Structure 1
Amino acid sequence: MNSYISEVNYHDFHELLMNNHIHIDQSLEQRLLSVLKNNVYALDNATYSFVLVKYMSKFTDLENDCIRTLISSIRKQS
């Protein structure tokens, strides 16, 4: 499992977003972090990761590639 996302706080997650040039408002950042923390299994499973990317792109209006980049960065942090 991905221990990084389970333990990350909002401030560190915000920095991760900024480092990946992802600019969304604070409420969306918090929602995105919550979705990721509640779907840790999907981060490590390609099939579920695809569904997670689609879901997150719908409510954030971010491109799928942008979300995939974020997920890759999270995986690297682990």
Structure 2
Amino acid sequence: MEQLYLDPAWMGQGIGSRLLVQATAALRIVKLHCFQANTDARRFYERHGFRPEAFGAGTTNEEGLPDILYVRRA
């Protein structure tokens, strides 16, 4: 999976959680990047067991924004 976004109008209804569970159910380790400024996404991933592993300055993403590598291990 390249990206996971949910239209704000659909947030808070469990849809993102169901998508994440379905997409990662068979994986023992899941890694993803999230922008540091995206506090809603950060809370979402942390609620689902992801932990920050590395903080970047944005030199490795197209937007050039500071990011976080999150990891969840089964």
Give the TM-score normalised by the residue count of structure 2.
Answer: 0.30
Give the TM-score normalised by the residue count of structure 1.
Answer: 0.29
Higher relative contact order structure (alpha carbons within 8 Å, sequence separation ≥ 6) = 1
Which has the larger helix fraction?
1
Which has the larger strand fraction?
2
Q: Max radius of gyration: which structure?
A: 2
